Amino acid sequence: GREAEEHLRHGQAVTLGRPELEAGYLEEYRAYNSEGVFMALVRFDRPTNSWQPVKVFQLDTPSPYAPASV
């Protein structure tokens, strides 16, 4: 939600509920906001069950690569 977006935008970790069992160790994923705008590269931290931002971007337009469910 919006709160998670703000945390990521400010370089803070976010927890999205259940553990992400598919996330590999130090594997990077793309994070999008609710409008499909690419926000950050994130890594899943198993000990804290949270996504840690690696690099945060300030973009304004939706990405053509955003998942359809966004």
- The CA–CA distances, whole Å, from 23 to 6, 28, 62, 67 equal 22, 9, 24, 17
Where residue 54 falls among pLDDT bands split at 50, 70, 90? very high
What domains does the chain contain, in order, with CATH numbers? 2-56 (2.30.130)
Buried b or exposed e, range 32-53, using 16+ CB within 10 angstroms: bbeebbbbbebbbeeeeebbbb
Helices (H), 1-70: 2-9
Cα–Cα distance, 48 to 62 (Å, whole number): 30
- pLDDT per residue as tens digits for the range 7-30: 999 999 998 777 666 777 778 999
